[in-house]
């Protein structure tokens, strides 16, 4: 995997919304709830030790009962406080590299690269480090408490062992919930800040948990742990029944109460565990689907929020690279479209243009500025370029309005075609209408030029219809989409006739024969043109 690049302060999101307080609350809440669940299960279990304790309390008077109950409640609260204090201390030690980065950034400083790297690694590993500490606490502290109670003759050895095992089993679920909630908090609050560009999978020394393992963990914790607790409890009760005298009714009632309590606890704890595990899988996928919807709407600036280093995180990074490639391709496509028409661009990019070319029926239009050489000689280059750009822009817009394609601007000449590469039946009508729009556009342009004191432009337009060969031309290394054929040459010659006949628009008889609409025109006498073996009949468009 590639190394993660150092993200500078200016590239990070706003740090004001980043906080570590939620980590302390999650860890303490999970631990406290685990202790409460253990207490409730112990009270609900019909074991000799529990029954004897309850019987002793019931024999006391009201004041003694209240004092004893208060003493035990105080001891219970002290135990919770001590354990939560240990959890707070552990979290505080674990988040120190992360807190160090945030402190530097909040002070407006750029944290050292080494500190940022440590903070990132600790952020990814934080749920795993906490689960190690928390599980160790659940494995060590209950035996210490219950075995100590046996050593001072408060309970039997087998009772202390059973309660220790049960506490450890509950601790598994408590720790798993804490793991996924801490992971979720980091993904929402911290990872977008420390990993604004994603790529968590490329961070060396970071632990990861695959999707399949998450699902297996959910199944095992949701089924095996409750079954283990129930089995251990039933075996213990059966063991105690050997020396105890208890009615079947009392025994059955005790089992029903304990099982009911266990089912309620499993139902709620399983629901919480199922929710946090499913969210850890579903939320990144939903974010990915939202990004896909944005891309379908043409928003190539969107990015998938990558918040994990599992398979979904790797897929998210790959998706962002794909989006980046699509954005670059779209940029290239748009840039390419400035040099060729969009239709030609799309035909080239789709690979539908044949190297050998396609014979098509089309109408070709040539337009040429008149007296352009004196204009170039008598004006500075900046004025010449500005004038040509204004003229070409106005003519291009008129041609495009009628589905025409401008193939090229050569000097002061425009070559356009109608019906290629996308064929439409009224290409001749479109070409004539475009020429009329070009006439009006030139009048408007000349009004603007006259207002600025610039000389007016004039042009001639020649139109001819017939077969053309449309396709790639040029060398093997560099191609160009072009029109080839006698139709192109005749159209160019007809444009040259506009000078001789002192008009601005001439169309060939072949184009007139293709017209579906009516236009005002005057037929001209046959004319011989250079490079053509027979005379051509043209019509002047009024």
Residues 463 and 536 occupy one common structural domain: yes
Q: How far is CA 69 from CA 75, 83, 145, in A?
A: 10, 21, 19
Residues 349 and 255 occupy one common structural domain: no
- Cis peptide bond N-terminal to 421, omega within 30: yes
Share the mean pLDDT of the chain: 79
Pick from 82, 75, 243: nearest CA to 154: 75
Secondary structure element (H or E) that encloses residue 466, with its range: strand 459-474
Secondary structure element (H or E) that encloses residue 366, with its range: strand 358-369
Residues 263 and 298 occupy one common structural domain: yes
Are 538 and 497 spatial neighbours (Cβ–Cβ below 8 Å)?
yes
Reply yes or no on whether the pLDDT at 410 is more than 90.
Answer: no
pLDDT value, residue 366: 95
pLDDT band at 475 (very low <50, low <70, confident <90, very high): low
CB atoms within 10 A of CB 519: 16
> What range defines the domain where residue 310 resides?
13-325
Residue 131 maps to a domain: yes
Residues 283 and 352 occupy one common structural domain: no
Residue 7 maps to a domain: no
Number of separate domains in the chain: 2
Residues 161 and 128 occupy one common structural domain: yes
CATH number, residue 421 = 3.30.70.1230
Q: How many residues does the chain have?
A: 542
Residues 422 and 392 occupy one common structural domain: yes
Structure-block tokens of residue 40: 């409730």
- Alpha helix ranges (H) inside 452-539: 486-500, 509-514
Distance (Å, whole) CA 33 – CA 38: 9
| pLDDT tens sequence across 125-148 | 888 888 888 888 888 888 888 788
CB atoms within 10 A of CB 188: 14
Distance (Å, whole) CA 166 – CA 153: 20
| pLDDT tens sequence across 337-374 | 554 556 656 665 665 555 556 788 899 999 999 877 77
| pLDDT tens sequence across 289-305 | 888 888 888 787 788 88
pLDDT value, residue 310: 84
pTM: 0.59
Residues 401 and 285 occupy one common structural domain: no
Residues 35 and 149 occupy one common structural domain: yes
Residue 2 maps to a domain: no
Q: How far is CA 374 from CA 151, 414, 442, 445, in A?
A: 115, 19, 19, 19
């Amino acid at each position: 995997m590639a190394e993660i690049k150092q993200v500078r302060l200016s590239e990070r999101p706003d740090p004001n919304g980043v906080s570590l307080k939620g980590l302390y609350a999650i860890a303490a809440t999970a631990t406290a709830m685990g202790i409460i669940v253990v207490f409730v299960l112990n009270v609900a279990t019909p074991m000799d030790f529990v029954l004897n304790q309850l019987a002793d309390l019931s024999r006391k008077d009201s004041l003694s009962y209240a004092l004893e109950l208060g003493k035990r409640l105080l001891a219970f609260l002290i135990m919770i406080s001590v354990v939560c204090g240990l959890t707070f201390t552990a979290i505080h030690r674990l988040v120190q590299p992360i807190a160090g980065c945030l402190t530097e950034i909040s002070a407006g400083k750029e944290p050292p690269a080494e500190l940022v790297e440590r903070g990132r690694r600790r952020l990814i590993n934080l749920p795993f480090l906490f689960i190690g500490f928390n599980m160790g606490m659940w494995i060590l502290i209950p035996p210490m408490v219950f075995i100590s109670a046996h050593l001072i003759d408060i309970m039997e050895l087998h009772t202390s062992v059973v309660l220790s095992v049960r506490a450890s089993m509950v601790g598994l679920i408590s720790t798993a919930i804490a793991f996924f909630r801490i992971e979720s908090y980091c993904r929402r609050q911290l990872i977008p800040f420390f990993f604004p560009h994603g790529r968590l999978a490329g961070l060396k020394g970071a632990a990861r948990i695959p999707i399949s393992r998450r699902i297996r963990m959910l199944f095992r914790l949701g089924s095996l742990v409750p079954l283990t607790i129930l089995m251990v409890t039933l075996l213990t009760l059966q063991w105690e029944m050997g020396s105890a005298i208890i009615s079947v009714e009392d025994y059955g009632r005790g089992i029903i109460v304990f099982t009911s309590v266990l089912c309620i606890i499993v139902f709620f704890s399983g629901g919480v565990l199922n929710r946090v595990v499913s969210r850890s899988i579903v939320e990144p996928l939903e974010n990915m689907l939202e990004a896909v919807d944005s891309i379908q709407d043409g928003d190539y600036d969107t990015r998938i929020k990558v918040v994990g280093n599992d398979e979904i995180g790797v897929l998210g990074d790959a998706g962002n690279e794909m989006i980046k490639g699509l954005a670059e391709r779209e940029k290239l496509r748009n840039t390419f479209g400035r040099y060729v028409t969009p239709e030609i661009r799309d035909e080239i990019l789709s690979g539908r243009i044949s190297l050998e070319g396609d014979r098509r029926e089309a109408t070709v239009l040539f337009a040429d500025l008149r007296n352009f050489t004196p204009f170039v000689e008598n004006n500075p280059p900046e004025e010449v370029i500005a004038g040509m750009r204004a003229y070409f822009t106005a003519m291009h817009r008129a041609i495009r309005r009628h589905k025409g394609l401008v193939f090229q601007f050569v000097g002061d000449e425009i070559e356009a075609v109608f019906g290629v590469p996308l064929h439409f039946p009224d290409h001749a009508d479109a070409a004539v209408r475009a020429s009329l729009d070009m006439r009006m556009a030139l009048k408007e342009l000349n009004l603007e030029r006259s207002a600025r004191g610039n000389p007016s432009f004039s042009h001639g337009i020649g139109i001819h219809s017939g077969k053309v060969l449309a396709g790639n031309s040029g060398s093997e290394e560099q191609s160009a989409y072009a029109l080839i054929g006698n139709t192109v040459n005749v159209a160019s010659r007809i444009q040259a006739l506009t000078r001789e006949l002192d008009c601005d628009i001439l169309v060939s008889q072949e184009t007139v024969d293709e017209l579906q609409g009516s236009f005002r025109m005057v037929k001209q006498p046959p004319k011989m043109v250079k490079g053509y073996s027979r005379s051509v009949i043209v019509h002047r468009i009024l």
